[in-house]
Chain A
């Protein structure tokens, strides 16, 4: 299965600033997914990123707050804009797992907003 890396692994940011999270996959993939996991909670899908088209956002998430880039088939970025303490979460990049519809996850980026 694909190996996924994310940068940064963690960060502490001030309210009102933005952070861009990078996701790199070791093989070409059609779809990349961004999830959020708030403290003590399960995973919530933020958006699906296809190369060459705009990301598709889930209900409750908007492009202005979470802009996504997908410049090629192995890389994507998620920006968390104008951060507030409520954005403190783990952000996980994910790709399809073996064509079953499951997911393989990156190690996550632990974001704390003060």
Chain B
């Protein structure tokens, strides 16, 4: 079966660093994606990992370990506008399977 797990909710303070973890067990794998979704809006693409290691993109970085079925999204220098849900998704052949999502609240 397919299983993608993330913490349900996290809180952090403006200016801090937060790490959102994602573990997965899927029948196939051709990449791991992170999406950001603000309330009432569609998800927007943040990052993509297909090889092990860290991908850095400005304030956001994403890490993948395929052998451990594990990824994390690292958000630095948090801003209030980063309050949103963060969705981990695994590519499996031509399908994209989403995790449960992590709702992040950033406080001043």
Contact = CB atoms under 8 A, between A and B. Distances in A.
Contact of A100 (B48, B94, B98): B48
Interface in B60-108: 87, 89, 91, 94-101
A100 B94 CA distance: 10
Contact of A92 (B42, B45, B91, B97): B42
A101 B30 contact: yes
Please tell me the size bucket of the interface on A: 10 to 19
Contact of A43 (B30, B43, B48, B91): B43
Nearest to A101: B91
Interface stretch (A13-21, A71-79, A80-88, A105-113): A105-113
Contacts of B50: 100
Contacts of A43: 43, 87, 89, 98
Contacts of A105: 42-44
B33 interface: yes
A53 interface: no
Contact of B31 (A102, A104, A106): A102
10 contacts: A43-B87, A44-B98, A48-B94, A100-B31, A100-B48, A101-B91, A101-B96, A102-B31, A102-B48, A106-B42
